[in-house]
Chains A and B, each alone.
Chain A
């Protein structure tokens, strides 16, 4: 399909291990967002990409979190030395650039990666 694709859908790993989450946005969508939802919390902004650059990474919770985007397409979110508090659903969304064509664009979300740290 032409939607946002995330992988893996579920990931269980031991505390201290590194994990890599992948997002494949809709073709042509220049804007890409990462969010997470911890149990009982709302959607928390992590990072925004415009093309390959990240003008806003203010939501990354610590230096254990990093993200990159290559070719203006696929993005990976890496969490190093995972902690139990990293357990959450990580969602990726893409859109046309906000405000492009004078209209604000809705975000299109993937199904998320459910990350569980033991």
Chain B
């Protein structure tokens, strides 16, 4: 059974703080790792698609790294803003149709 775990489950940070969270996935049969942001009352939005060990991706204040050998990815948010409040999901793709999603990290940025 393929398992994807995200930590922490939730966190609160002050506006301006930087934060990071973790996605752990199986280190075998790796094809891709996706990050999504899911705001309340909206649909999940793709942030990054990561395919290569050592990948680093950046989008504005958000960046992600990937270590396929040890099976983890970090998502970083620099200088958090209230609009960053959302659930951040990672999804592991082993190349056989099915994506396995983590349960997400719920971020609340306090003004």
Interface size for A (C-beta < 8 A) is 29
Give every chain A residue within 8 A of B34 (Cβ-Cβ).
104, 106-107
Interface string of A29-47 (1 = CB under 8 A from B): 0000101000001111100
**A56 and B42 contacting across the interface, CB-CB below 8 Å:** no
Q: Nearest Cβ distance between residue A103 and chain B, in whole angstroms?
A: 7
Interface string of B44-56 (1 = CB under 8 A from A): 1110010100000
Q: Is B71 an interface residue (CB 8 A)?
A: no
**A56 and B43 contacting across the interface, CB-CB below 8 Å:** no
Interface size for B (C-beta < 8 A) is 24
Give every chain A residue within 8 A of B102 (Cβ-Cβ).
42
Give every chain B residue within 8 A of A109 (Cβ-Cβ).
36, 43-45
Q: Is B101 an interface residue (CB 8 A)?
A: yes
Q: Is B103 an interface residue (CB 8 A)?
A: yes
From the candidates A3, A33, A103, name the one contacting B99 in the complex (CB within 8 A).
A33
Question: Contacts A104-B32, A104-B49: A99 and B98 contacting too (C-beta < 8 A)?
Answer: no
Give every chain A residue within 8 A of B91 (Cβ-Cβ).
43, 107
Q: Is A108 an interface residue (CB 8 A)?
A: yes
Give every chain B residue within 8 A of A44 (Cβ-Cβ).
101
Q: Nearest Cβ distance between residue A71 and chain B, in whole angstroms?
A: 21
Give every chain B residue within 8 A of A106 (Cβ-Cβ).
34, 46, 49
Q: Nearest Cβ distance between residue A104 and chain B, in whole angstroms?
A: 4
For A43, A50, A58, A103, the residue with the greatest tally of chain B CB atoms inside 10 Å of its CB is: A43
